[in-house]
Chain A
């Protein structure tokens, strides 16, 4: 058997990779600092155990890690739409998870206003937080494994929502991704250089894309309609779906970070595209959904030659952080 359950302690934090807040050179200040959630190895281990444990779903079948897989930068490989514990998740594509402490809001519509509130949503079955989290707390409180982990992390073995939120944020919040080829090139590490295609792609990216996919996070984390035609079945209005929606919010979606984008497909809020070429082609055709269309986009589409497109793809491929996706600290502790 390949799979074998082990105590999370058997896969301890690598001593060389101590857990701490990081602000890579020339990056802005993060939105979330751990000032009221002091980083400890025990909280991180608890957060990681929870992230990979289907105990968080009603019927014990699915964990955060089922939809957010490390080998694709914590997106959901090959799944346009996520199915699982929640019908709501069913109409959106699971984004990659990294550098979350720089996001000002979460989900494609930005409906969640704080990283600590994020773990609550997938656990609950309706738009609203009903009582559905209480049976999960009961399961955790009945488990000797979690009594032990909660006790180590918080000095009390009782699981409650706040401890669960804080521990999960330690795990998710410390997922920093800043070691792609692009980063090494920018930091001029080990003489990293771009080839001709990557160089041309980078300069096109700066001209055509970086107003929205802003360096260094590759997103301003603002909301825009980038002109995707509305899916006739999902009819997803993005921010227009929020309970505070106003007409100007229709079809606005969060600008995704393009870091690790070669791995995080399928693409867009509903996973409609499977390749980067399709994404780029979207920007070169005339935009059909012009309601609240982003002012940065020319209605008739961008002009890009076949060579330009290939160069953009070369550049986007430099944004993959292989160190991040193989960092053992973020791996499922249940697998050796």
Chain B
């Protein structure tokens, strides 16, 4: 045993020595230039123009008021478009945005380029709803999973409202549905206008987006809390809410 060890040590000494000799005249090879960098996507959760804060009374379009206690949603399948129109698909991209926990998605290993737009879905694609055990933000203990009727909840909005017909005045919207006519998955594309997010080897540029809770009650189908205070299944009403939240996320700014 020991003999083998020593022989190895001696052999490697030889190897080192011979290396030195060979490289003497050669330029030291430069570190390969990095080809990827970081990028951050920030979600500022708002009610109209105000920053969302829990347990504060806001007025929705119908005139009903709501005080929010929970608001969270899945952002998945991020695809970034470069200024030359080629795209980069972020692998394994599933994040829960929750003002109480996480409002930024930090991307690493993004190819260095100038990006002019981003696309993602609100929700979780149907494949991941059907593939069994998941981890990360898709783990079933994140309060966003229907365990008795498999499927992710794509968006949760909870709170209270004097206009709610529930005896405890609650408002509960849990929206999901990964297939069928009433599915809740919505694709969002956001162009950065004249700016680009310039991913480079050193800094972390940021795409700053705004999510407006009021949109959930607005277009294309105005919803009042007096008419809908509870939604926990996949049907025409949940589709209506999903159609409304399809445009709740809008462009804010780019910080390079």
Contact = CB atoms under 8 A, between A and B. Distances in A.
User: Do A and B interact with each other, yes or no?
Assistant: yes
Interface of A: 36, 88, 107, 109, 111-117, 120-121, 124, 127-131, 133-134, 137, 160-162, 165-166, 169, 242-245
A117 B151 CA distance: 10
Given A128-B145, A128-B147, 7 more contacts: A113-B130, A113-B150, A121-B148, A127-B149, A160-B139, A161-B139, A245-B233
Interface of B: 129-135, 139-141, 143-151, 153, 174, 176-177, 179-180, 182, 232-234
Given A112-B148, A114-B130, A243-B149, A128 B141 contact: no
A299 to B, nearest CB: 31
A243 B230 CA distance: 13
Contacts of A242: 149
A124 B147 contact: yes
B107 to A, nearest CB: 23
A326 to B, nearest CB: 30
Given A111-B149, A112-B149, A244-B180, A130 B143 contact: yes
A107 B150 CA distance: 11
Interface of B, secondary structure class, is loop
B147 A137 contact: no
A242 B176 CA distance: 13
Contacts of A120: 140, 145, 147
Nearest to B146: A128
B140 A128 contact: no
A130 B141 CA distance: 7
Query: Which of B129, B134, B150, B153 has the largest number of chain A CB atoms within 10 A?
Result: B150
4 closest A-B pairs (Cβ-Cβ)? A116-B132, A243-B233, A165-B133, A129-B145
Given A120-B140, A129-B140, A243-B233, A112 B150 contact: yes
Given A131-B141, A137-B141, A121 B234 contact: no
Nearest to A86: B148
A113 B126 CA distance: 12
Given A120-B140, A137-B141, A161-B139, A166 B133 contact: yes
B196 to A, nearest CB: 38
28 contacts: A36-B132, A111-B148, A112-B150, A113-B130, A113-B150, A113-B151, A114-B130, A114-B132, A114-B150, A116-B133, A120-B145, A121-B148, A124-B148, A127-B148, A127-B232, A128-B146, A129-B141, A129-B144, A131-B141, A133-B140, A162-B134, A165-B133, A169-B133, A243-B149, A243-B176, A243-B233, A244-B149, A245-B233
B34 to A, nearest CB: 31
A166 B139 CA distance: 13
Contacts of B177: 243-244
B124 to A, nearest CB: 13
A221 B140 CA distance: 26
A30 to B, nearest CB: 14
A117 B234 contact: no
Nearest to B132: A116
A121 B147 contact: yes
B115 to A, nearest CB: 32
A161 B133 contact: yes
Nearest to A105: B150
Nearest to B183: A244
B150 A161 contact: no
Contact of B131 (A109, A112, A114): A114
